[in-house]
Chains A and B, each alone.
Chain A
Amino acid sequence: MRVTFTANGKPVEADDVWEGESLLYVLRERVGLPGSKNACEQGECGSCTVYLDGVPVCSCLVAAGQVQDREVRTVEGLADDESGELGLVQQAFIDAGAVQCGFCTPGLLVQTDALLEQDAQPSDTDIREALSGNLCRCTGYEKIMDAVRLASARKCQKVGHSE
């Protein structure tokens, strides 16, 4: 089957998609967006998290056919489209040392972005709750907590300035 949808603001189409293929497979293998990762394919690790119509989902659990005419935003869409400048959350993860092997990073970035969109100043417990669906095996999560706090502080500062 043919699937057409919007990925990071651009229309994409994939042909000869087998009915059982996931959104994750289509993104990674058919439309050249391998940023979302394939670590468990059971929705347990969160490495494949993308926005689907603005809601973070595990793309491994979404059938390709379900995204017909919908909007997908992946980790590749978090940087500024024009300048290519890193997004606030992306920069914070680098600065805090929250990236080691980095395999979990794309999913964590999308989930963190979604968290800070809802609540720019989450408590530590809020952060832990929001990110509890994203496994990381390298960092021990401490530096991820630092990164989210840093992104939150920078976001609040930015909002403060613009007001």
Chain B
Amino acid sequence: MSARTIQGQKNLQDINQASKDGIGGSPLRPDGTLKVKGEFAYSSDLWHEDMLWGMALRSPHPRANILSVDISEAVKTPGVYAVLTHDDIPGSKFYGLEIQDQPALAKDKVRYHGEAIAIVAADHPETARRAVKKIKVEYEVLTPIVTEEQCLDPETYGYVHEPHEYKSHGYGNICHEQRLVHGGGVTDEIRALADVIVKGTYEVGMQDQAFLGPESGMAVPAEDGGIDLYVATQWLHVDRQQIAPVLGLPEEKVRLTLAGVGGAFGGREDLSMQIHACLLAQRTGKPVKIVYARDESFFGHVHRHPAKMYYEHGATRDGKLVYADARIVLDGGAYASASPAVVGNAASLGHGPYVIPNARMHAIALYSNNPSCGAMRGFGAVQACFGYETQMDKLAAELGMDPVELRQLNAMAEGDSMPTGQVIDSPAPVAELLQRVKDMPLPPPLDLDNLDVRTLPGALSNTSHGEGIVRGIGYSVGIKNVGFSEGFDDYSTARVRLEVIGGEPVAMVHTAMAEVGQGGITVHAQIARTELGVEQVTIHPANTEVGSAGSTSASRQTYMTGGAVKLAAEAVKQALITKGRQRYGWTQNDIDLVGGKVVSESAGVLVSMVDLLGDEAIDLTREHHHRPTVPFDKETGQGFGHVQYTFCANRAVVDVDVELGLVKVVELTAAQDVGKALNPLSVVGQIQGGCTQALGLAVMEEIIVKDGKVRNASFTDYLIPTILDTPPIPVDVLELPDPNAPYGLRGVGEAPTVSATPSIVAAIRQATGIALNRIPVRPEHLTGTL
């Protein structure tokens, strides 16, 4: 023993410092070098010498009966290998995340503009495009059901889905609804307790995830009659669960491997090209690649629900909230997707991070002939935040109070109850986050004497030399849940293997987590380093050969899969120490793995991991389940529905050209509690990215849908913020550990997207004095030229 012992704490510290790439550090992305060299294989980069290109024919009508589909001319096109319709599907005709209401290829009717009707496989994308054009479809065009009024009156306007068409379906054109009553609810008696009442009706447009990497992947037929699918997705296992029944295959014959993902933001939670590529590969016996063009991407994935919201708040003269009442109507479009869960979030989070003694809520998602909506970053909490935060500003104005002080006066904190009755049992620094953004230094005022016109609203267009420019400042704070809620047994699986490679201990981490750009793989390596005291960690490609990791969404992956990696690594560590105890008879209770060695605080280094492991590998798999939640009561909305909450506050400074209605966000400050920053560089990157998507929703991003038809399915017409539209985003990160979470961490990615939008609108409102009850705010709203 003594020969291997290094005495003293100093040496242990030295060894510890060797693990600077563990949690809390900011090691660089393991895939970064490949990405900057252009060598990282995104799903659209897959290539096979024998491959075919797949493409879909999509409906030009939002609502129509399909009278006939004639593929005879398309099939005859030279270079075309297959043309498939609904009749060619070997298995189940429908799929869906929560309700199996979506046909893999439309049958008898189409329910939204862009719905896929037939698919083609050909030797060149242009051949496929020409063949698609030769498919003749005869439609009986029907008047689309698109407004709230039409949806809620099916007797007059009809059903998007016939009643009881699917097993678990709501009624009428309501896909899902959730009510909530808290305290005494909202009655005339409760209203009478308030000195001041403010009301508002708010609208949120349809936002798109607009990830840059288009939906794409390649399906390869396998010798066993199964399919190997390489695809960009957010959840490999739930994709497989939906794909296999349609192909008429058992799940084990459908193997998915994650191909490089170019962003996701919720838009890859639903299937897009997966089933189509698999069907074509099954039929042709050849690898089939599908890459959506940008317009097809706009039709091929679900969007953020547009919302209409009716809010009412009552408060005492000194600013204490007495009650809050809201009705949130989300347009879910043609198919259910994640609408039920989005409704649950809107209802339970829809009154914000405030203590409200009495509250009521009614949230619904409608079926309509508009594009389908589902998951997008912020998931039901975004729309509501624009509503309640606008109300807070209105209330502050009515009371003559500072808007930040009013928010702080009513801010929830640890130990307070949500309107769902759930007690917040971890830090909730809402008032502090607001104080932090308020206390950050403001950007310098516009200096008209030393003006670079490129910094003004309108930027490069040289639209102003400073005249007509007014500055405004706005604040906001928001709340978001982390992880899957309402009784869902959310879990993740990780496999960790420790072995000696090239004379060094190396850990391998294998999970099915979709790395969509968020940096999960970096964090997994950090966790393995920290728990196992090794430097070298390799990340196994994500596939369905290991258990499910759940979705890369709901800000849950570091919490859930990170937690699973931690559990698996801890198990490997214990197995290694047990091995050492058996071999060397160690009796110390303070044994740890540090710097590639087994060490004891009291006795120093016991043995090198290389010597202890020898030729053996320790390979263990563990699942991480979060604490159980329950579904909300259908009528009262009460229940311990969410796993964890996360909070972000923002301050926006804007310059508005009041003559032209142009807005330039000058600065967007964020303060967020992340519990524990496992990788500070990535945490800040997530917050800045989230703020920028919120900026997009505030001032430019909207899918324009008129009579059910999408008018701007391109990056020319659907605007996302450029680097010129995006200001400096100073970020203040708080780390107040959550005792229930691995390392005390909190989900990070979504909270800023929830909170930042209303701060920008508030700032524009302050600059212009215009009410602005609809987002995105467009120039015509500011100039009165609508």
Contact = CB atoms under 8 A, between A and B. Distances in A.
B688 A45 contact: no
A140 B262 contact: no
A134 B721 CA distance: 10
Contacts of B760: none
B454 A137 contact: no
Interface stretch (B273-281, B382-390, B560-568, B724-732): B724-732
B36 A109 contact: yes
Interface stretch (B41-49, B498-506, B627-635): B41-49
Contacts of A143: 684-685, 688
Contacts of A35: 37-39
Contact of B38 (A74, A125, A137, A144): A74
A90 to B, nearest CB: 4
B541 interface: no
B213 interface: yes
Contacts of B728: 142, 145
A18 B79 CA distance: 14
Nearest to A131: B723
Contacts of B715: 39-40, 42, 44-45, 135
B38 A34 contact: yes
A102 B294 contact: no
Contacts of A100: 263, 517-519, 685, 689
Contacts of B714: 40, 42, 44
B32 A94 contact: yes
A108 to B, nearest CB: 9
Interface in B185-217: 209-214
Interface in B25-80: 26, 28-29, 31-33, 35-42, 44-45, 47
B28 A95 contact: yes
A99 B124 contact: no
Nearest to B293: A41
A45 to B, nearest CB: 6
B145 interface: no
A47 interface: yes
Nearest to B127: A18
B213 A37 contact: yes
Given A41-B294, A47-B212, A103-B263, A125 B720 contact: no
B259 interface: no
A106 interface: yes
A29 interface: yes
Contacts of B682: 97
A127 B681 CA distance: 22
A154 interface: no
B262 A132 contact: no
B518 A103 contact: no
A101 B262 contact: yes
Interface string A19-52: 0110000001100011111111110110100000
Contact of A94 (B33, B41, B516, B517): B33
Nearest to A42: B716
A94 to B, nearest CB: 4
Contacts of A102: 31-32, 35-36, 40, 262, 517
Nearest to A18: B126
A77 to B, nearest CB: 9
A64 to B, nearest CB: 12
* Chain B residues touching A, range: 35 or more
A55 interface: no
A107 to B, nearest CB: 9
B212 A140 contact: no
B291 interface: yes
Contacts of A34: 38, 41-42, 45, 47
Contacts of B294: 39-42
Contacts of A128: 454, 723-724
Nearest to B34: A102
Contact of B36 (A41, A86, A127, A131): A86
A25 to B, nearest CB: 8
Interface string A66-107: 000000001110110000001000110111010111111110
Contacts of A76: 37-39
Interface in B658-697: 681-682, 684-685, 687-693
B722 interface: yes
B270 to A, nearest CB: 18
A158 to B, nearest CB: 18
A95 to B, nearest CB: 7
Nearest to A21: B126
A117 to B, nearest CB: 18
Contacts of A127: 723
B775 interface: no
B460 A132 contact: yes
Q: Which of A20, A44, A142 has the most chain B CB within a 10 Å cutoff?
A: A142
B265 interface: yes
A136 B720 CA distance: 9
A163 interface: no
Contacts of A21: 126
A129 B692 contact: no
A18 B129 CA distance: 14
B213 A39 contact: yes
A139 interface: yes
A12 to B, nearest CB: 15
Given A42-B716, A100-B689, A105-B35, A129 B265 contact: no
B455 interface: yes
Contacts of A144: 723
Given A100-B518, A105-B35, A135 B212 contact: yes
Given A135-B715, A139-B685, A140-B689, A101 B516 contact: yes
B212 A37 contact: yes
Contacts of B684: 97, 142-143
Given A37-B42, A75-B38, A86-B36, A129 B261 contact: no
Contacts of B691: 140
Interface string A126-163: 01110111111111111111000000000000000000
Contacts of A106: 36, 38
Contacts of B687: 140
B601 interface: no
Interface in B228-281: 261-263, 265
Given A90-B37, A129-B454, A139 B212 contact: no
A41 B693 CA distance: 22
Contact of A101 (B47, B211, B722): B211
Contacts of A103: 42, 211-213, 262-263, 517
Contacts of B724: 128-129, 132
Contacts of A105: 35-36
A74 B715 CA distance: 23
A86 B36 CA distance: 8
B452 interface: yes
Contacts of A139: 685, 688-689, 692
B517 A138 contact: yes
Contacts of A141: 688, 692, 723, 726
B21 to A, nearest CB: 14
22 contacts: A21-B126, A34-B38, A39-B214, A39-B294, A41-B294, A45-B212, A45-B715, A76-B37, A78-B37, A93-B36, A94-B28, A94-B33, A97-B684, A129-B460, A132-B459, A137-B209, A138-B517, A140-B691, A140-B692, A140-B729, A141-B692, A142-B688
Interface of A: 18, 20-21, 28-29, 33-42, 44-45, 47, 74-76, 78-79, 86, 90-91, 93-95, 97, 99-106, 109, 125, 127-129, 131-145
The 9 closest A-B pairs by CB, nearest first: A35-B38, A101-B517, A140-B688, A103-B262, A102-B35, A75-B38, A140-B692, A44-B715, A90-B36
Given A132-B460, A134-B723, A140-B690, 20 more contacts: A21-B126, A38-B44, A76-B37, A93-B32, A95-B28, A100-B517, A101-B213, A102-B262, A103-B211, A103-B263, A104-B212, A125-B454, A129-B460, A132-B459, A135-B720, A137-B265, A140-B688, A140-B689, A140-B691, A141-B692
